[in-house]
A and B are shown apart, each in its own frame.
Chain A
């Protein structure tokens, strides 16, 4: 089982609903967030193009954060989900420095925090909060090993990319372009 997410940049309007839904679902303190919006505009008026992305932890197959964690707090859970065990985390910040996607932050409770793909929800057959709330339905989630999963189907159908592939992290967060 390999969980993955695909975000359709052609549909995302950058409303940040994914951010608030994650904050409330996971009780992320106000002022912090596990996912965020990036908006990139290219071109010169009036020949313009814009890409909007909902970004978060890439749940890399070759995750530098897991490799560099001195305590084992950062680890792979089922389906390749990268997690942090708060009470094993000493807050050293090595993982924050190693992440090419800037996806981790120091939680005010003293541990490092990040996206969990809402593992507590997917265990109950629910989608991650961001995917469940998105008004444009631009976030697809599922198991890459299941050819019929929503994410496998859409990745087969559409052109996609990952971020900073040259880092060799093998991300599980795809962007449909």
Chain B
């Protein structure tokens, strides 16, 4: 692959790059892969590297939905949220732009090599640094303004997960200064990685996005495609206790010992219930505990919408905290 150098006035030059608030726009950009089409709608999706399963899920579903509308997904190719957004865009057959903090000939982080290659083939890799520039931590916040510059003025920048001092929040601040529309995916108060987006929403700087449709509504987009409702997981087969367990879990991984304390159920009953939930693909066991999967999250929503959801939180009759 060859690296092209583009400057202002080039047909490929992202014209919005000059409207990035008070920040200095780049003099030139180094590009690999497909040419950038500055007229196409784009959305930036940014977030933490330490994402939870729920965060990855949100990034992927938003990316897939906007790609179906023919939009371009812009992100920074870091681990976690960035990678999930790029991947989902590519898998949905869409185009994606990765703005790197290194030279475009370098894949950083190295574990994203497969993604880097795929973006180079069907998407675009851009950077303001010449080939051979290694990763340096001070380059990454600066490249965030270029992510913003790839989105037209008034266009959307979505913050999925991030702490209150994260790079994702830096991007959000650049985006606000550059009068882009900032959106944030809310999360549980227990989830440290939801603190950033929650704060953006609380302070009124960002609009809440809990589904891709919220994004389209806010931008008053006429949808080309009907969004495909995902298959509802069967929650009928779950026992009351299994339902209750599922509701006790949230975005962050929950350890079995915590579940034990919160449910007050003996381990001998908790253990098979957890295994059943896992066999149904609703939760997934990781070293740090159980996390709700995408279909688990849908099942939770089903349960909470169903009549009588309140009673699920009550203690179960006939079960005490016996040894």
- Do A and B actually bind? no
Chain A positions within 8 Å of B, measured between CB atoms, are: none
Interface residues of B (CB under 8 A from A): none
